[in-house]
């Protein structure tokens, strides 16, 4: 396991394989939306060093840092990568300020409060990812995505415990990371979590 990538197996049942790729480290710029952030120079190198499975269907969140990560990892042009908004980060009204990480930790733990006014719920986010996964009929998917949405999805699959365990997982998840899950039928059903 290197600092740039991390692999884990989630789920016990045999099924379709999804390799989620959390984007590499972005340049944080409070003057633009996080969806427009680009990778740092170190992030570019880390993305290039990822070892993604060959012959997988590659899809990315439309957020630039995720798209840039999977394009660099696969040696593809960004416009050659399939984009699906279902894999974007959690929809939220958020400014990058001193308390933004604490608000993100609370969301990941499932403890929503007035800081999360205008934020997508964890359940809604997971349903969005599950719906996106259903759109692709491939035995192996590579999905460029983000840490909060990925953690929420793993909580609902049972691969990560909810609450403080989810926060610990999210905080340990490096930039970039590969999380591989075997998903029976392609996706979890959050209504049964």
pLDDT in tens, 95-114: 777 788 999 999 999 999 99
Cα–Cα distance measured from residue 81 to residue 169, given in angstroms and rounded to the nearest whole number: 28
Cα–Cα distance measured from residue 61 to residue 150, given in angstroms and rounded to the nearest whole number: 12
- pLDDT, tens digit (0-9, with 9 covering 90-100), for 133-188: 999 999 999 999 999 999 999 999 999 999 999 999 999 999 999 999 988 664 44
Average pLDDT over residues 15-34: 92
The answer to whether residue 4 sits within a structural domain is no
pLDDT of residue 1: 35
Residue 9 has pLDDT above 80, yes or no: no
The answer to whether residue 59 sits within a structural domain is yes
Residue 7 has pLDDT above 90, yes or no: no
The answer to whether residue 2 sits within a structural domain is no
State the CATH number of the domain containing residue 166: 3.40.50.1240
The answer to whether residue 3 sits within a structural domain is no
Residue 11 has pLDDT above 90, yes or no: no
The answer to whether residue 142 sits within a structural domain is yes
Residue 19 has pLDDT above 80, yes or no: yes
The answer to whether residue 152 sits within a structural domain is yes
Question: Which domain range does residue 120 map to?
Answer: 9-192
Structural domain tally of the chain?
1
Q: Which residues of 130-145 are buried (b: 16+ CB within 10 A; e: fewer)?
A: bebbeeeeeebbbbbb
Cα–Cα distance measured from residue 152 to residue 147, given in angstroms and rounded to the nearest whole number: 9
**Residue 179, beta-bridge partner list:** 20
User: pTM for this one?
Assistant: 0.88
The answer to whether residue 34 sits within a structural domain is yes
Q: What are phi and psi of 60, to 5 degrees?
A: -140, 155
The backbone region for 8, taken as left when phi is positive above 0, alpha when psi lies in -120 to 50, beta otherwise, is beta
pLDDT of residue 5: 46
The answer to whether residue 150 sits within a structural domain is yes
- Closest to 66 in 3D by CA, of 29, 30, 103, 20: 20
CA angle in degrees (0–180, nearest 5) for 55-173-79? 40
- pLDDT, tens digit (0-9, with 9 covering 90-100), for 28-85: 998 888 899 999 999 999 999 999 998 999 999 999 999 999 999 999 999 999 999 9
């Amino acid at each position: 396991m290197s600092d740039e990538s991390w692999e884990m197996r989630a789920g016990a049942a045999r099924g379709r394989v999804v390799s989620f790729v959390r984007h590499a480290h972005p340049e944080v710029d409070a003057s633009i939306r996080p969806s427009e952030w680009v990778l740092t120079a170190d992030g570019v190198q880390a993305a290039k060093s990822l070892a993604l499975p060959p012959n997988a269907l590659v899809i990315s969140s439309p957020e630039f840092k995720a798209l840039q990560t999977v394009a660099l990892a696969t040696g593809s042009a960004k416009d050659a990568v399939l984009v699906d908004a279902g894999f974007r980060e959690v929809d939220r009204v958020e400014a990058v300020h001193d308390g933004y990480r604490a608000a993100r930790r609370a969301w990941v733990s499932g403890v929503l409060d007035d800081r999360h006014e205008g934020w997508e719920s964890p359940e809604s986010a997971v349903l969005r990812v599950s719906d996106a996964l259903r759109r692709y009929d491939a035995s192996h998917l590579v999905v460029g995505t983000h840490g909060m949405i990925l953690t929420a999805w793993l909580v609902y699959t049972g691969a990560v415990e909810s609450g403080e365990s989810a926060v610990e997982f999210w905080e340990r998840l490096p930039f970039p990371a590969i999380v591989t899950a075997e998903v029976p039928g392609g996706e979890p059903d959050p209504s049964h979590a």
